[in-house]
Structures are given as structure tokens and as C-alpha cells.
Amino acid sequence: MDKKVLLIGGNGYVGTAFREFLETRQISFQNLSRKDFDYYKVEALSQVIKDYRPDVLINCAGYTGKPNVDACESHKDECLLGNAVLPGVISRVCEMNQLPWIQISSGCIYTGNTPDGSGFKETDTPNFSFRSGYCSFYSGTKALGEEVLRDDANCYGLRLRIPFNEKDSPRNYISKLLRYDRILNAVNSLSQLDEFVKAAWQLYMNDCPKGIYNLTNPGSVSAKDVIDMIQKAGLSNKEFSFFENESDFMAKAAITPRSNCVLNTDKLVAAGIKLRPVEEALEWSIKNWKAAQSAGV
């Protein structure tokens, strides 16, 4: 049976990937961009749902800060609005209309790894949030966003983490490593963007239990691991330079601390959703790399 999707924020980095996925699969959708539509208005959003009658809503809108999360420190209200208020508004509207929906959440509400090295589970309390006392303002708002949705039984809260694929983009992790002057060598779980989108769709189509999912490729890699792959594949011959450590990075390049963390993907696997191991997904993306036309940097 054909599905109809209501997409919110389908013009951003993640939203574009969802749009392209739906277009390729010839799945009908309507895209609400903030420029054209005030999706913060409960009544207006509810009316669109009544008119368009979607089967599922996907919210890709959020405030990430440009060029990076440091910008959130000086745009705190917009950051709160996009990451914590908006999920609440959509949650209310979806509950009123009995509509299942997908929220793009984030793994950046953790820092580090669990003592046993197996990564943070969905049931672990965020340790990089306002409530934990230490975080960036961005991560604080994303953790509040999950808190706002805690009682939502209609929602898939899917934690994306440092997206990448084979297409050059300012938001792509591989592009960032290629362009940054100096790199912090941290260990992270990552999400191959197109696998993320496909998995999100599968969770919904397979009627998997609603709730929070760490939606990253299994495993974790250090920035140096990825640079090794980039160099082996001959994608760049530049001399990569590194910060000594996190304090060096904070002192020289950042306003607010970054989340670097490892997530556990057992829940996703148990739901029957398979993503390639992170190394495989990275090697494939690097091998099939498409530099942006305009990339003069």
C-alpha cells in the first residue's frame, strides 16, 4: 500500500537525504520548509495533516549552528526553539491526529564510552546535557528535546551521529576532515547518512516498537583511522595536523566543548535493522567520493 509522508525541514542536510530517498522510491511526500510555513503553530500544522492525510511525519528540522555548534552559544533561543520546542509541538500535533512520526535526535548527548567499552545504550542517562552539568548549549537542547518526547508513544526518536556519505558537503564528516586545518583525534560512532535514512524508513515500515534508537553504523572509529583510509585511497595527499588533546583543541579552535562518544547499536540490531560496520561504510564512501563542483577550499 502506498504511503504518504509529511516532511518537515526537508531542505537541510538530513532533510535533503530523506527527500532524495522518497523521490527515488516514488513515495509521495509534502515538504514543509520554515520559509513557506510556520510549523510551530499547532493549529496550522494540524490543518495540513487533516488536508494532506499523511501516514507518517518525519521531522528533519532542527538548529545545528553554522558553520558549527559554536554558533549555538550565541543563538541560544533559536537553538532551544528548533531542538526542544519544535519536537514538543510536533508531538502534540501527532498525538491529536494519531499520527506516527520520526524525530531526528542526536547521539551528541553523551561523551566518552561506557566503562566496559560497549557504548552508551538508549537506556543510559545522557552525560553531556544540561542536567549532567557539562555540555555545549547545542547538546543541552538536544537532550531537552528527548526529555520533551519521553511520554510520546507515537514517535521514533532516531539518534543520528556525525553523518557522512560519498557526497562532499559542509556537513559531511569526510569533507570536514579533508578541509579542517587541524583535527582533534577523537573516537566516535558515526552514521552513514543514506543508511540512516533507509533504516529510519524500515523501522517505520516494519512497525518496529516506537521509542529512542541509536541509529549509527555499528562500531566506532578515531579521526586518525578515517584519515588513514582517506590517505590509503589517495583522496588527499595533504599533511594532516592534529591538536595535542581536547584542551589544546578547546584553547585554540572551539568556544564550546564537543561531544565525542561511542553508541551501542544492539537495540537497532535486535529490531532487525542492519547497517554496514562503520569501517566498511567509510571505505565505500571514500572510494565512491564525489567532490562538490564548487569545492575550492
Interface residue list for its own copies (CB under 8 A): 40, 76-78, 80-81, 84-89, 91-92, 129-133, 140, 144, 147-148
Q: Which is nearer to its own copies, 17 or 148 (CB)?
A: 148
Q: Which is nearer to its own copies, 63 or 156 (CB)?
A: 63
Q: How far is the CB of 89 from its own copies (least distance, A)?
A: 6
Cα distances (Å, whole numbers) of residue 67 to 2, 63, 295: 38, 12, 16
Q: How far is the CB of 52 from its own copies (least distance, A)?
A: 23
Query: What is the rounded distance in angstroms from the CA atom of residue 146 to the CA atom of residue 123?
Result: 12
Q: How far is the CB of 136 from its own copies (least distance, A)?
A: 13
Q: How far is the CB of 142 from its own copies (least distance, A)?
A: 13
Q: Which is nearer to its own copies, 22 or 144 (CB)?
A: 144
The DSSP line for the chain is ---EEEEESTTSHHHHHHHHHHHHTT-EEEEE-TTT--TT-HHHHHHHHHHH--SEEEE------SSSGGGGGG-HHHHHIIIIIHHHHHHHHHHHTT--EEEEEESTT--B--TTSS-B-TTSPPSSSTTTS---HHHHHHHHHHHHTTT-SSEEEEEE-SEE-SB--TT-HHHHHHH-SEE---EE--EEHHHHHHHHHHHHHTTPPPEEEE-S-SS-EEHHHHHHHHHHTTS--S--EE-SSHHHHHHHT-SSPPP-B-B--HHHHHTT-----HHHHHHHHHHT-B--TT---
Q: How far is the CB of 104 from its own copies (least distance, A)?
A: 17
Q: Which is nearer to its own copies, 44 or 295 (CB)?
A: 44
Q: Which is nearer to its own copies, 83 or 185 (CB)?
A: 83
Q: How far is the CB of 75 from its own copies (least distance, A)?
A: 8
Q: How far is the CB of 229 from its own copies (least distance, A)?
A: 39
Q: Which is nearer to its own copies, 63 or 201 (CB)?
A: 63
Query: What is the rounded distance in angstroms from the CA atom of residue 152 to the CA atom of residue 157?
Result: 10
Q: Which is nearer to its own copies, 129 or 216 (CB)?
A: 129
